[in-house]
Amino acid sequence: MQLRMPPSPPQLVSLSTAEVLLRVSRAPKGWNLTAEQFQIVLERSVARRFSTVTSKSAPAPAAVEKYLALLQVQDLALACACSAGNVAAWEHFVAEYRPQLHRAARAIAGESAAPDLADSLFTELFGLPETPAARRSLFEYFHGRSKLSTWLHAILAQRHVDEIRRTRRFDPIEENDSEGSGGITLHLPAKNSAPDPDRERYLVMMQAAVEVALDTLDPRDRLRLAYYYVEELTLLEIGKILGEHEATVSRKLERARQEVRRLVEATLRQEKKLSEPQLRLCFEYAREEWPFDLTVRLGSGPARAVSPGE
């Protein structure tokens, strides 16, 4: 009787593609990041994105290529080098992100709790040893679908929620409804609860609904959103480009955000037939870690009229 070996998992990212994307990332030589290391990280990211597909067959090469083109490869290279324990990469990360994380922690948890919240995240990012010879860094869970700063802020917010859960496990967490409907109560699961098997499906539906909503917007509203969220311009800079007062830009941005939310909710209710609890879960999962890169949908506007800056 001849034994059949199980088939090897399909290669999702070639080494040559990893080499190209590593060059695009412009990772400094001092980070000692190899194409082989970057290939592993890219494959992990692709496998995560196409998890429902890879369990049955490999995703279409065109879909993988489109996905890779949207990744924040500079941030992904930094996370990869830090996860590998490179000292130069860590020094760059600390200098670049430590002030940001402490500001975000103060905004999330308040002045007194901010240092502990931010510093505990650094410990997780460096990695705690699973065995005397190995450690596992939180950076391994960064897949490059959003900016590293966005992902870090989301982790900070989640750690703050986890602490609230730990101290008030059986109490609901109150959140004010941004639409002004009087507030909603989210009954968050305990920290050790099993993950929702529908989470990935909800996120896929949310992404599709957001894309439809953005395509429906007036082109000028979409341009304001692109300047603000993709180009990261200030309200004043956007106003100078579009010939509008800063207050007008702010008002129209808020109107566009409300319109996007209204369209997303309408799509999820009417087309996807989600109940109100399911709808709240969609938004909650998206807030925990925003996994969508909407750069292509929003596009980036014409060349900046002024240099960005606060």
**Per-residue pLDDT for the chain (310 aa), expressed as one digit of tens each?**
454 544 455 678 999 999 999 999 999 999 999 999 999 999 999 888 877 554 556 788 888 898 899 899 999 999 999 999 899 999 999 999 988 888 888 887 788 888 888 888 888 888 765 544 556 788 988 999 888 988 888 888 878 777 766 665 444 444 433 333 333 333 333 444 455 677 778 888 888 888 889 888 898 998 898 888 777 788 888 888 888 998 899 899 999 999 999 999 999 999 889 888 888 888 877 776 565 666 666 764 443 333 223 2
Chain centroid to Cα 163, Å, comes to 21
pLDDT given at position 111: 83
State both tokens at 87: 């000292």
Angle between helix axes 15-25 and 35-49 (nearest 10 degrees) is: 100
Angstrom distances, CA of residue 18 to CA of 26, 35, 42, 57, 284: 13, 6, 7, 21, 33
pLDDT given at position 252: 92
Q: What is the CATH number of domain 199-298?
A: 1.10.10.10
Task: Give dist(CA 96, CA 75) in Å, integer.
Answer: 12
pLDDT given at position 288: 64
Task: Give dist(CA 139, CA 266) in Å, integer.
Answer: 36
End-to-end CA distance of the chain: 72
pLDDT given at position 272: 87
Q: 63 near 55, Cβ under 8 Å?
A: no
Task: Give dist(CA 41, CA 30) in Å, integer.
Answer: 19
Q: What is the DSSP string of the chain?
A: -PPPPPPPPPPSS-HHHHHHHHHHHT--GGG---HHHHHHHHHHHHHHHTHHHHTTSPPPHHHHHHHHHHS-HHHHHHHHHHHTT-HHHHHHHHHHHHHHHHHHHHHHH-TTTHHHHHHHHHHHHH-EEEETTEEE-GGGG--SSS-HHHHHHHHHHHHHHHHHHHHSTTSPEEE--TT-SS-EEE-PPPTTSPPPTTHHHHHHHHHHHHHHHHHHS-HHHHHHHIIIIIS---HHHHHHHHT--HHHHHHHHHHHHHHHHHHHHHHHHHTS---HHHHHHHHHHHHHS-----HHHH---SPPSS----
Residue count of the chain, please give it. Answer: 310
Task: Give dist(CA 85, CA 37) in Å, integer.
Answer: 13
- Residues 213, 216, 217, 220, CA torsion sign: positive
- Tell me the pTM: 0.54
Strand partners, 136: 128
Cβ neighbours of residue 237 closer than 8 Å, sequence gap 6 or more: 227, 304, 305, 306, 308
State both tokens at 182: 């009087």
Q: 297 near 214, Cβ under 8 Å?
A: yes
pLDDT given at position 127: 73
pLDDT given at position 268: 92
- Which ranges in the chain are annotated with CATH 1.10.10.10? 199-298
